Chain A
Amino acid sequence: MAGRQDAFPAFDEMGAGRHCRGQYDLIRSWIEETAADALSLKRREAELLFRRIGITFAVYAEGGDPERLIPFDIIPRVLDRAEWELLSRGLVQRVRALNAFIRDVYHRRDILRAGHVPQELVLHNEGFRAEMQDFDPPQGVYTHVAGIDIVRLGPRQFCVLEDNCRTPSGVSYMIENREAMMRLFPDLFARHRIAPVSHYPEELLETLQSVAPANCDHDPVVVLLTPGSFNSAYYEHSFLADEMGVELVEGADLFLDDNIVYMRTTEGPKRVDVIYRRIDDDFIDPLTFRADSTLGTPGLFNAYRSGNVTLANGVGAGIADDKAVYRYVPAMIRFYLGEEPILDNVPTYCCWTREDLGYVLDHLGELVVKEARGSGGYGMLIGPQATREQLSAFAAKLRAHPENYIAQPTLALSTCPTFVETGIAPRHVDLRPFVLSGKEIRIVPGGLTRVALREGSLVVNSSQGGGTKDTWVLES
Chain B
Amino acid sequence: MLSRTADSLYWLARYMERAEDVARIVMVGHRMASMARSLENPGNEWHSTLIATGCEQGYLAKYPEATAALVIDYLVRDPDNPSSIFSCLETARRNARVVRTALTVDMWDALNETWLKTRDAGGAACDRERLLELLEWVKERSLLFSGAYANTMLRNDAYYFTRLGTFIERADNTARILDVKYHVLLPRHEGVGGALDYYHWQAILRSVSALRSYHWVYQERLKPWFVAELLILRPEMPRSLLSCCEQIVRHLELLAEAYGGLRGECHRIAGDMHARLRFGRIQDIFQSGLHEFLVDFMERSIMLGNEISKLYLK
Contact pattern, A 215-256, Cβ under 8 Å of B = 1, otherwise 0: 000000000000011000010001101100001111011000
Q: Which secondary structure characterizes the binding site on chain B?
A: helix
Query: Does the CB pair A266–B3 fall under 8 Å?
Result: yes
Q: Would you call B250 an interface residue if the criterion is a C-beta within 8 Å of the partner chain's C-beta atoms?
A: no
How far does the alpha carbon of A229 sit from the alpha carbon of B94 in the complex, in Å? 8
Query: Does the CB pair A266–B109 fall under 8 Å?
Result: no
Chain B proximity of A226: nearest CB distance (Å): 10
The residue among B6, B94, B98, B314 with the most chain A CB atoms within 10 A of its own CB is: B98
Contact pattern, B 203-237, Cβ under 8 Å of A = 1, otherwise 0: 00000000000000000000000000000000000
Contact residues, B222-265 vs A (CB, 8 A)? 255, 259-260, 262
Query: Does the CB pair A264–B112 fall under 8 Å?
Result: no
Chain A proximity of B13: nearest CB distance (Å): 15
How far does the alpha carbon of A293 sit from the alpha carbon of B261 in the complex, in Å? 38
Query: Does the CB pair B101–A264 fall under 8 Å?
Result: no
B116's partner among A51, A241, A249 (CB-CB below 8 A) is A51
How far does the alpha carbon of A250 sit from the alpha carbon of B101 in the complex, in Å? 14
A263's partner among B2, B100, B259 (CB-CB below 8 A) is B2
Query: Does the CB pair B157–A266 fall under 8 Å?
Result: yes
How far does the alpha carbon of A250 sit from the alpha carbon of B260 in the complex, in Å? 26
B312's partner among A52, A54, A266 (CB-CB below 8 A) is A266
Contact pattern, B 82-122, Cβ under 8 Å of A = 1, otherwise 0: 00000000000010011011000000110011001000000
Query: Does the CB pair A54–B6 fall under 8 Å?
Result: no
Q: Which secondary structure characterizes the binding site on chain A?
A: mixed
Q: Which residues of B contact A234 (CB under 8 A)?
A: 97
Query: Does the CB pair A266–B259 fall under 8 Å?
Result: yes
Chain B proximity of A249: nearest CB distance (Å): 6
Q: Would you call A440 an interface residue if the criterion is a C-beta within 8 Å of the partner chain's C-beta atoms?
A: no
Q: Would you call B1 an interface residue if the criterion is a C-beta within 8 Å of the partner chain's C-beta atoms?
A: yes
Query: Does the CB pair A253–B4 fall under 8 Å?
Result: yes
Q: Which residues of A contact B6 (CB under 8 A)?
A: 266
How far does the alpha carbon of A54 sit from the alpha carbon of B113 in the complex, in Å? 10
Q: Which residues of A contact B112 (CB under 8 A)?
A: 52, 54
Chain A proximity of B162: nearest CB distance (Å): 13
Task: Say whether, besides A266-B312, A267-B259, A54 and B4 are in contact (CB < 8 Å).
Answer: no
Query: Does the CB pair A54–B259 fall under 8 Å?
Result: no
Q: Which residues of B contact A241 (CB under 8 A)?
A: 101
Query: Does the CB pair B109–A52 fall under 8 Å?
Result: yes
A52's partner among B3, B113, B260 (CB-CB below 8 A) is B113
Task: Say whether, besides A51-B116, A52-B112, A238 and B4 are in contact (CB < 8 Å).
Answer: no
Chain A residue at smallest Cβ distance from B113: A52
Q: Which residues of B contact A263 (CB under 8 A)?
A: 2
Q: Which residues of B contact A242 (CB under 8 A)?
A: 100-101
Q: Would you call A265 an interface residue if the criterion is a C-beta within 8 Å of the partner chain's C-beta atoms?
A: yes
Chain A proximity of B177: nearest CB distance (Å): 32
Task: Say whether, besides A52-B112, A54-B112, A266-B312, A253 and B3 are in contact (CB < 8 Å).
Answer: yes
Chain A proximity of B22: nearest CB distance (Å): 25
Chain A proximity of B158: nearest CB distance (Å): 9
Query: Does the CB pair A229–B4 fall under 8 Å?
Result: no
Q: Which residues of B contact A249 (CB under 8 A)?
A: 2, 4
Chain B residue at smallest Cβ distance from A226: B98
Chain A residue at smallest Cβ distance from B158: A266
Chain A residue at smallest Cβ distance from B258: A267
Q: Which residues of B contact A (CB under 8 A)?
A: 1-6, 94, 97-98, 100-101, 108-109, 112-113, 116, 157, 161, 255, 259-260, 262, 312-314
User: Which 6 A-B pairs rank lowest in CB-CB distance, beginning with the nearest?
Assistant: A242-B101, A238-B100, A264-B3, A266-B312, A266-B6, A229-B98
Name 14 A/B residue pairs within 8 A (Cβ), A-sorted: A52-B113, A54-B97, A238-B100, A239-B100, A248-B100, A249-B2, A249-B4, A250-B4, A253-B2, A264-B314, A265-B1, A265-B2, A265-B3, A266-B3
- A263-B2, A265-B2, A267-B1 known; 16 new pairs, CB 8 Å cut-off, are A52-B112, A54-B108, A238-B97, A241-B101, A242-B100, A247-B1, A247-B5, A248-B100, A249-B2, A253-B2, A264-B3, A266-B1, A266-B6, A266-B259, A266-B313, A267-B260
